[in-house]
Structure 1
Amino acid sequence: MKTIASLCLPAGKRAKLSIVIYHRVLPEADHFLGGRGDISSFDQQLCYLTRNFNVLSLSEAVAHLRAATLPARAVCITFDDGYADNAEIALPLLQKYGVTATFFIATGFLDGGRMWNDTVIESFRRARGDTIDLREIGLEQYTVATLEQRRQVLFSVIDQLKYLEPTTRQSKVDKLAQTIAAELPDDLMMTSAQVKLLHDHGMEIGGHTVNHPILASTDETTARTEIGEGKARLEAITGTPIRFFAYPNGKPGRDYLSIHVEMLNQLGFEAAVSTAWGTARHGDDLFQLPRFTPWDQKEWAYVLRMVRNSYQQIQTV
C-alpha cells in the first residue's frame, strides 16, 4: 500500500499534503452517535498513517509547502474544538507513535464550559420518555421512542440550529436544555492546564475562535473579536505565538468568507485549515488548506481513500 501511495503522492514540486481532522477520542465507541471515535479506532488509524505516510507537524508541512519540498505521502493530524479526551486519551497515543498533532481550540469553553451542540447532544442522550416537545423554540414535538428515532431527531435539530445567529442559537439551546431538564456534564472540554500540557509535550496549538460561531453568520466586528481574542487567550496559556487557525465548521463560502481569510492575515496567523476535502500543493492558498478523515477499518481501504482524496478539486472562497 505504501508503494501505491508513493506513486500517487510523490515528493517535491508535485507533492500533495493530506491533513486529517479529528474531534474526539473516546474510551469506547459512543453508539448513541453512531459508534465511531473510540480509542481503538484512533490507535488503528495512527498505525495506518505512520506505516504508510510521512506524518509531519503542521509547522513543518507549511514550511515545505512554501518551499515546494514536501516529502512523498505527507500528512498532518489535527483536532478541532478542545475536548478533554484529546489530552487524556489522544496525547498518549500520539506519543506512542512519535507524531505531532495540531489542536485547534475554542477558548470560551475551557475550564468547565460546554459547546452548544454538546448541550443538545447530552440533553437528547439523557431525555426521559418517548417524546421531546421543542415547540417553544420554534421546532416540533418529536417521537424518540427508539435509539434510531432519537439519533435522527438529534441530528435534525442540530442542523436546524447550526446556522442561526449565535445569540439566537444559544438562547434556543438554553431553552431546549431547560425543557429537557437533564443533568449535563461540565467536564467535556479541556482545562487551561491541559492546553498547556499538550503544548509542553510538543503538540501544536491553534486558534478556533472563542465561542465557535459560524463566522459567515456574524458581523465583521464580532468575527474579528472572536478570532483575535481566541488567539490572545491561547498565547497567554502557552506563552508562544499562535500561528495557525481552523475555521469553525469550516465549509468555504458557507461557514467562512474571503473577508475572514483576510482577517487571519491581518491578525498575524500564518496558515489556516478548512473542512473542504482535497490535498494542498505548492502555490495553493495557505489560509484555506483542505482536510478530511478516512473512516475505513481495513488498512488497504484506508490508504486508498487517502489516495482518492488527493484527486479532489479543492474548494476555496
Structure 2
Amino acid sequence: MSIAKKMYYQAARLVNLSLLKGAPTRLLLPYHHLVSNEQLPYVKHLYPYKGVRAFERDLDYLLKHFKPVGLREIIMAARRQTPLPAHAFLLTFDDGLKEVAEVIAPLLRQKGVPAAFFLNSAFIDNRSLFYRFKMSLLVEALQQPQSKATLTALGEVLHTDGSPEAIIQAVKRIRYGNRALTDAAGTVLGLDFNAWLAEHQPFMSSAQIQALVEQGFAIGGHSVDHPYYQDLTLEEMLQQTTESVETLVNRFKLDYRAFAFPHSDAGIPKAFFDKLLQGPEPAVDLIFGTGNQRADIHPHILHRFNCERPELDIEAAVKGILIYNRLQEIRGKSVIRRD
C-alpha cells in the first residue's frame, strides 16, 4: 500500500462513524478470499490476507456497529422492493478455498454471522487448479536458486531474459488468455501441478459446500475458471456466468441465483447486465461487482469493497470506503455508467 493510502486510512480512522453511515438503508459489502495464520505458497504472491485473530476483531467491530444480513434476505428485499434493516452488512468470500470450511465458517457460526461464498465451478472438488495459483507456486519456486540452464529455458518460455527478476515479472504478467505458459514454466521447473493439486487440495469439496448450505450459508457463482471478464467476448462472459451459477443451482438445489465478478467488473458493457437481469424471469437475482459500494445501472447490481488487507483493520477500511463514497457523491460519480 502506498504512503498516501496509508495516510488516508489513518486519517479516516479518526472520523466519527456516526457521521459517515449515511442512509441507513445502504448495505455494507466487505469481501475476502480467505483467512489463515499460514503463509500459503499458492496465494502469498498474489494478495495479502488476514489471520484468524485479526478477522475475529473485525467481526466484533462489524457486529457492534452494523447488523448482519444473509444473501437470501437481500434477494427477497430486492424482489419485493422492501428495505433491509438499518445499517446492514453482508460478508462475502471468493474462490471457494478450503479455509472457508475449515476456518471461516466455524468462526462465523460461533458469532452468528451469515455470509455468502462465491465459487468457481471448475475448481469444486479440486478438479482443476486456478492458473494464478500456479503463478504463485512458480514465484515461490523461483525464490530458490535455479541453475543457469533452467533460467535460460524459462526465459525462452516466457519471452524474457534469463534473470530471476525478469522471469518473476514475466510470470506475474501471465493472463487468462496465455495461462498455458504456467504449465510450460512449471515443466521447466519440475513442478507437477496435477500432483500438487491432488496432495494439497486447496478448494472445497462438494460435501463441504453442501454442509455450508445446510448450515444456512449462501453460495453463488464466480465464473467457471476465474478469467478477466474484460478479456472475453460478450458471449464468453455470459457463458462463464450462467454456467457457474446453474452448476451450483442444480448441484446444491438452490432456489436463488447470485453471481460475483472475478477480478473486476470495470468496463463490462450494459448488454451483459441487460441479458442477465431483464425480463420476467431474470437469469440471476443479484450481481456483485467490485466498485467500492457505488450504485449501478440496475438495483440488482451491488458493489463490494476489499477488507482483507492485513495492514488495515475493518474500522479503517469501513470508514475509508464511506468517506470515499461521500466524495464520489459530491463529485457526481456515485453511480457507475455502462456503455
Q: TM-score, normalised by structure 1?
A: 0.81
CA distance, structure 2, for counterparts of residue 217 and residue 299 of structure 1: 32
CA distance, structure 1, for counterparts of residue 259 and residue 95 of structure 2: 11
CA 1:72/1:307 → structure 2, altered by over 3 Å: closer, same or farther? farther
CA 1:141/1:306 → structure 2, altered by over 3 Å: closer, same or farther? same
* Amino acid in structure 1 at the alignment position of 2:209: V
CA 1:208/1:5 → structure 2, altered by over 3 Å: closer, same or farther? same
* Amino acid in structure 2 at the alignment position of 1:182: L
Matched, 1:18 2:28: yes
The answer to whether the Cα contact below 8 Å between 1:17 and 1:279 also exists between their aligned partners in 2 is no
Partner of 2:157: 136
The answer to whether the Cα contact below 8 Å between 1:243 and 1:268 also exists between their aligned partners in 2 is yes
CA distance, structure 1, for counterparts of residue 57 and residue 163 of structure 2: 38
Matched, 1:272 2:287: yes
* Amino acid in structure 2 at the alignment position of 1:27: N
CA 1:99/1:287 → structure 2, altered by over 3 Å: closer, same or farther? same
Q: TM-score, normalised by structure 2?
A: 0.77
* Amino acid in structure 2 at the alignment position of 1:249: H
Offset of residue 140 of structure 1: 4.0
Higher Cα radius of gyration? 2
Q: After superposing the two structures, state which structure 1 stretch, 92-101 or 223-232, moved more.
A: 223-232
The answer to whether the Cα contact below 8 Å between 2:66 and 2:87 also exists between their aligned partners in 1 is yes
1:115-159 per-residue CA deviation (whole Å, 9 max, x = no partner) reads: 110011012213331585343133443435xxxx99xx46x633x
Aligned-pair Cα RMSD in Å: 2.9
The percent identity for this pair of structures is 23
Partner of 1:232: 246
CA distance, structure 2, for counterparts of residue 107 and residue 316 of structure 1: 29
Matched, 1:171 2:164: no
* Amino acid in structure 1 at the alignment position of 2:323: R
CA distance, structure 2, for counterparts of residue 284 and residue 49 of structure 1: 28
Aligned partner of 1:96 among 90, 99, 110: 110
CA distance, structure 1, for counterparts of residue 275 and residue 216 of structure 2: 27
* Amino acid in structure 1 at the alignment position of 2:188: T
The answer to whether the Cα contact below 8 Å between 1:19 and 1:279 also exists between their aligned partners in 2 is no
Q: After superposing the two structures, state which structure 1 stretch, 109-118 or 210-219, moved more.
A: 210-219
Aligned partner of 1:61 among 66, 74, 77: 74
Q: After superposing the two structures, state which structure 1 stretch, 296-305 or 179-188, moved more.
A: 296-305
Offset of residue 270 of structure 1: 1.0
Matched, 1:108 2:108: no
1:3-41 per-residue CA deviation (whole Å, 9 max, x = no partner) reads: 9434432555xx311211111122335594475332222
* Amino acid in structure 1 at the alignment position of 2:73: E
Gaps of at least 5 residues in structure 2 are 1-12, 329-333
The answer to whether the Cα contact below 8 Å between 1:274 and 1:290 also exists between their aligned partners in 2 is yes
Gaps of at least 5 residues in structure 1 are none
The answer to whether the Cα contact below 8 Å between 2:229 and 2:265 also exists between their aligned partners in 1 is no
Q: How does 1:288-303 map to 2 (within 5 A)?
A: 288-294=301-307, 295=309, 297=312, 300-303=315-318
* Amino acid in structure 2 at the alignment position of 1:121: S
Q: After superposing the two structures, state which structure 1 stretch, 186-195 or 292-301, moved more.
A: 292-301
Partner of 1:86: 100
* Amino acid in structure 2 at the alignment position of 1:206: G
Q: After superposing the two structures, state which structure 1 stretch, 287-296 or 169-178, moved more.
A: 287-296
* Amino acid in structure 2 at the alignment position of 1:129: P
CA distance, structure 2, for counterparts of residue 120 and residue 214 of structure 1: 15
Matched, 1:117 2:132: yes
CA 1:99/1:110 → structure 2, altered by over 3 Å: closer, same or farther? same
The answer to whether the Cα contact below 8 Å between 2:20 and 2:319 also exists between their aligned partners in 1 is no
CA distance, structure 1, for counterparts of residue 245 and residue 34 of structure 2: 22
